[in-house]
């Protein structure tokens, strides 16, 4: 029987340990590792992308609120109707005391004398009553200037309708509801609404 001395035995054990420890990954282990890593990365990326988009949408919603509020402020600063007193409330449309002075039936900008658009309210700076903004969608400020480039991808839609009955008035034409819809670049539509009463 062959016997090893202590020195040879230690050398043999050390060589065995080194050969076991220096063993690499097999091809199957590498493929399994790559598949597991790619699946975990795809799961992580699907969780991060929506959160990133939502955080961007919140910033855009704040900008939309600022834009919508500025439009509402500008619109409500105008007179109630074309046939009302532009200075504020002395002569109101639809009042029996002032004879034949009905409120406007067709909402939108007036086209001018004899139906000539070149003599009418063709731009925002010529609008003098709230219903002139009905179906308005241009991106200009109250001075007729372009909006800041940060708002270039937002869309605006203004609707004005008679809505006195929702406020409890007997006459539906006693108030107009102004709705400004601002749509962010990500497609989130936000509505802002207020009423302008005939006084």
Q: Is the pLDDT of residue 199 over 50?
A: yes
Q: Is the pTM of this model over 0.85?
A: no
pLDDT at site 49: 65
Q: Confidence class of residue 157 from pLDDT cuts 50, 70 and 90?
A: very high
| For range 30-46, the mean pLDDT | 87
Q: Confidence class of residue 167 from pLDDT cuts 50, 70 and 90?
A: confident
Q: Which residues contact 56 (CB under 8 A, 6 or more apart)?
A: 186
DSSP code, position 180 = E
User: Rounded CA gap, 182 and 107, in Å?
Assistant: 21
Closest CA to 77 of 128, 121, 122: 128
pLDDT at site 197: 84
% of the chain exceeding 70 in pLDDT: 70
User: Rounded CA gap, 47 and 140, in Å?
Assistant: 39
pLDDT at site 55: 65
pLDDT at site 46: 78
Top-confidence residue, 144 or 182:
182
Pairing label, strands 155-162, 175-183: antiparallel
Query: How high is the mean pLDDT of the chain?
Result: 77
Q: Are the C-beta atoms of residues 190 and 68 closer than 8 Å to each other?
A: yes
- Which two tokens mark 121? 């309210």
Q: For 62-113, what is each residue's pLDDT tens digit?
A: 888 888 898 898 888 888 888 777 666 567 777 766 556 777 788 877 775 5
Q: For 115-155, what is each residue's pLDDT tens digit?
A: 434 446 667 777 888 888 888 888 776 666 777 787 788 88
Task: Please tell me whether residue 23 adopts helix, strand or coil conformation.
Answer: coil
Task: Please tell me whether residue 72 adopts helix, strand or coil conformation.
Answer: helix
């Amino acid at each position: 029987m062959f016997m090893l001395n202590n020195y040879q035995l230690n050398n043999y054990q050390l060589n065995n340990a080194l050969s076991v420890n220096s063993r690499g990954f097999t091809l199957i282990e590498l493929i399994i590792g790559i598949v597991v890593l790619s699946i975990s990365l795809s799961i992580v990326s699907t969780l991060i992308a929506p959160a990133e988009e939502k955080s961007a949408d919140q910033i855009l919603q704040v900008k939309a609120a600022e834009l919508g509020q500025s439009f509402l402020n500008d619109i409500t600063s105008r007179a109630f109707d074309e046939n009302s007193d532009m200075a504020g409330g002395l002569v109101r449309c639809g009042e029996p005391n002032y004879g034949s002075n009905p409120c406007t039936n067709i909402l939108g900008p007036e086209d001018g004398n004899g139906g000539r658009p070149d003599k009418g309210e063709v731009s925002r700076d010529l609008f003098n009553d709230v219903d002139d903004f009905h179906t308005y969608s241009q991106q200009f400020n109250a001075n007729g200037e372009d909006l800041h480039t940060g708002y270039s991808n937002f869309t605006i839609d203004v609707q004005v309708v008679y809505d006195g009955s929702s406020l409890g008035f007997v006459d539906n034409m006693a108030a107009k509801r102004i709705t400004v819809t601002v749509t962010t670049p990500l497609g989130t539509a936000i509505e802002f609404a207020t009423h302008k009463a005939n006084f």
